[in-house]
Amino acid sequence: MKLFLLLVLLGCGVRAQDTLDYDDYDADAKKAASTNASATVDARGHRPLVKGRELYMTNRYNPPTITGTGRYRGRPGSTTVTAPQEQEKVEQPESGGCTHAMEEMGVLCPNGCELKTMLLKQERNVKTSINELRPQVEDLSRASNNVLKYVSSMNNNLRERQRVMNENNNVVGQYTDRVEEQHAYIKDTVDTLLPSNIRVMQGVLEKIRQKIQRLEKAIQTQTKSCQEPCTTKCPIPVVSGKECEDIYRRGGLDSQMYLVRPDPLSPAYRVFCDQETQNGGWLVIQNRLDGSVDFGRRWDEYRRGFGNVAFDVGKGHCETPGEYWIGNDKISQISKLGPTELLVEMEDWSGAKVHAKYQQFTVQSDTTNYVLAVDVYSGTAGNCFLEGSTELFGINRTMTIHNGMMFSTYDRDNDNWNPGDPTKQCSREDGGGWWYNRCHSANPNGRYYIGGPYTKQMARHGTDDGVVWMNWKGSWYSLKAISMKIRPYFPPQ
């Protein structure tokens, strides 16, 4: 019994040793797997968890192959020693017997052993011939199969080409029918429709010729009337100054159109001065009141200015401001003369009025794309320039702040909405030039909608592109009137 137990233990030890020798290379992996059995298995398995490829290290030295003539010459040819062939024993015929016509058949009356010997000889000869013919038969069989396959392939190709030819004939027939139909239609058009269209066009051309004649007569009439000196219906007051505050101090106390000249080296230009609101002295740089002027303009037009500064309502003076933008060059020039304040007045379609006032206002020059800087807000409209839209939160609110923004037009994209992307332009979508961020909380130069409320379906690009001041009326209400005015800032006494 003890001997049996000893043999069993020895067998288990040998088996364990064999297992250890086989799995020893993966012992660390199995240990890690046993300790982390409950952990999440990484998708990459046992491979390194660092980025990059594992490098394959080749041997640093590969010995070259052996070349050259060698130390020995070729061996001499060995002489084949053939063993002496034993001469086949010729059977002698029995005495007294007769011989066969063929010597190989032996005696004429052979016994059974002699017949067997002769048949074996003939069998060997026949097998040799059969073995020689068998490869030829196999080659012939393979050649026959190849020929059969080739013939079958040719038949299939012939049928496929016949099918394709039939389909092509059908297609040609269909196109021929279509060409005939088109030819008939063209012929009918040339014969009937073209003459009638030509007659219609001749009638239109005759009407255009008559309009041209009437326009020529009107031009001649106007030329004759312009030969006499024209009288100005809207005379400019004699008093002028650097800006409207200077004009007010020189005695220009009426709100109307004046000439100002901030720079003595530059020519004077017309502006509208508001000499009544908050003690006067305001130079109107922007005004919207009826939508008569399109504010969707190019960069150069916003730089020079556009629109109607003022017009006469029958009193002999231009006392009513028109719709216009004075020009970024002029705004920058005036605001950099000294401390300047900004007043934005607006009115809704029910007649309610509010304002936003900024004690500090500056517009930089063209080299900085007219960067806007404002500070110290007061008023009743809401602080759009510094705080953005109060109905938004987080980044959606901060990206509507206008302070610190460059001026943008649809042909000069300087906003913060994907710069350089022509499909992401605030000015193109929101209707006018402005200090857009991404995009706005105030849009005084937007599209003019009559009545106030408007919808995404009414907007050209589905955006809030109206004359908007979001902190007063929200995004989808277009104001009836809005004006921007500046004057030198001076502490009240």
What pLDDT, on the 0 to 100 scale, is given for residue 26? Answer: 40
Are the C-beta atoms of residues 297 and 433 closer than 8 Å to each other?
A: yes
Are the C-beta atoms of residues 438 and 404 closer than 8 Å to each other?
A: no
Tokens of 449: 């909608």
Q: Where are the domains of the chain?
A: 122-219, 244-488
- Closest by CA to 384, choosing from 287, 307, 482, is 482
At 52-80, the pLDDT tens digits run: 433 333 333 444 444 544 444 544 554 44
Are the C-beta atoms of residues 401 and 434 closer than 8 Å to each other?
A: no
At 244-286, the pLDDT tens digits run: 999 999 999 999 999 999 998 889 999 999 999 999 999 999 9
Sign of the Cα torsion 397, 398, 403, 406 reads: negative
At 187-241, the pLDDT tens digits run: 887 888 778 888 888 888 999 999 999 898 888 887 776 666 544 466 778 888 9
Strand, coil or helix: what is 363? Answer: strand
| CB contact burial 202-225 (16+ within 10 A = b; e otherwise) | eeeeeeeeeeeeeeeeeeeeeeee
The pTM for the full model equals 0.55
Are the C-beta atoms of residues 321 and 284 closer than 8 Å to each other?
A: yes
What pLDDT, on the 0 to 100 scale, is given for residue 31? Answer: 42
What is the spatial distance between Cα 205 and Cα 213, in angstroms, rounded to a whole number? Answer: 12
What pLDDT, on the 0 to 100 scale, is given for residue 183? Answer: 86
What pLDDT, on the 0 to 100 scale, is given for residue 110? Answer: 58
Report which residue type is found at 26: D
The answer for residues whose C-beta is within 8 angstroms of residue 241's C-beta and 6 or more apart is: 247, 249, 250, 252, 258, 260, 261
Q: Residue 289 class from Cβ within 10 Å (0-12 exposed, 13-18 middle, 19+ buried)?
A: middle
What pLDDT, on the 0 to 100 scale, is given for residue 55? Answer: 36
The stretches in the chain having pLDDT less than 70 are 1-112, 225-234, 313-317, 493
The answer for residues whose C-beta is within 8 angstroms of residue 134's C-beta and 6 or more apart is: none
Instruction: Give me the CATH topology for the region 244-488.
Output: Gamma Fibrinogen; Chain A, domain 1 (3.90.215)
